Chain A
Amino acid sequence: MVLVHAEGPRPRKAAARRIGAVVAVAAALAACSTTSIPTVPTQPAVVIPPGPPVAVDIAALPGKWGLASYRDEKDRARTEAEAKRACGNPYVIAAGPQGGVMMHLPDQAQPTEVFVKVNGEGRSFIGPRGAPGMIQDRVVMYFQGGVLVADWLDPSARERYGTMLFVRC
Chain B
Amino acid sequence: MNFRTITRMFGRPAGFALAAVLGLALTAPTGVEAKQRKELAIQDQPGYVPTPQEEMLPPQYRPQPVYFRTNEAPGTIVIHTDERFLYLVQDGGRAIRYGIGVGRDGFQWQGLQKVSRKQEWPDWRPPPEMIQRQPYLPRFMAGGPGNPMGARALYLGDTIYRIHGTNQPQTIGYAVSSGCFRLVNRDVIDLFNRVPVGTKVVILQSAKL
Contacts and interface: CB of A to CB of B under 8 A. Distances in A.
Contacts of B133: 109
Nearest to B45: A160
A164 interface: yes
Contact of A107 (B136, B141, B144): B136
A66 interface: yes
Contacts of B14: none
A83 B140 contact: yes
A71 to B, nearest CB: 4
A66 to B, nearest CB: 7
B142 A160 contact: no
A72 B144 CA distance: 8
Interface string B10-48: 000000000000000000000000000000000001111
Interface string A57-96: 0000000001111111001001100110110010100000
B135 A109 contact: yes
Contacts of B49: 159
- B contacts with A: majority SS: loop
A128 B6 CA distance: 58
Contact of B138 (A67, A78, A111): A67
B47 A86 contact: no
Contacts of B136: 91, 104-108
Interface in A117-166: 159-162, 164-165
Contacts of A91: 135-136, 139
Interface string B101-143: 0000000000000000000000100001001011111111111
Given A161-B46, A161-B47, A82 B135 contact: no
B146 interface: yes
Interface residues of B, number: 22
A104 B134 CA distance: 9
Contact of A86 (B134, B140, B144, B146): B140
Contacts of A159: 47, 49, 146
Given A109-B133, A109-B134, A159-B146, A79 B47 contact: no
Contact of B140 (A79, A105, A107): A79
A75 B122 CA distance: 12
Nearest to B134: A109
Contacts of A78: 142
Contacts of A165: 138
Given A160-B48, A161-B46, A72 B131 contact: no
Contacts of A67: 137-139
Interface of A: 66-72, 75, 78-79, 82-83, 85-86, 89, 91, 104-109, 111, 159-162, 164-165
In the A-B complex, the 10 residue pairs with the closest CB atoms:
A160-B47, A104-B136, A86-B139, A69-B138, A75-B142, A82-B140, A68-B140, A70-B142, A71-B144, A68-B138
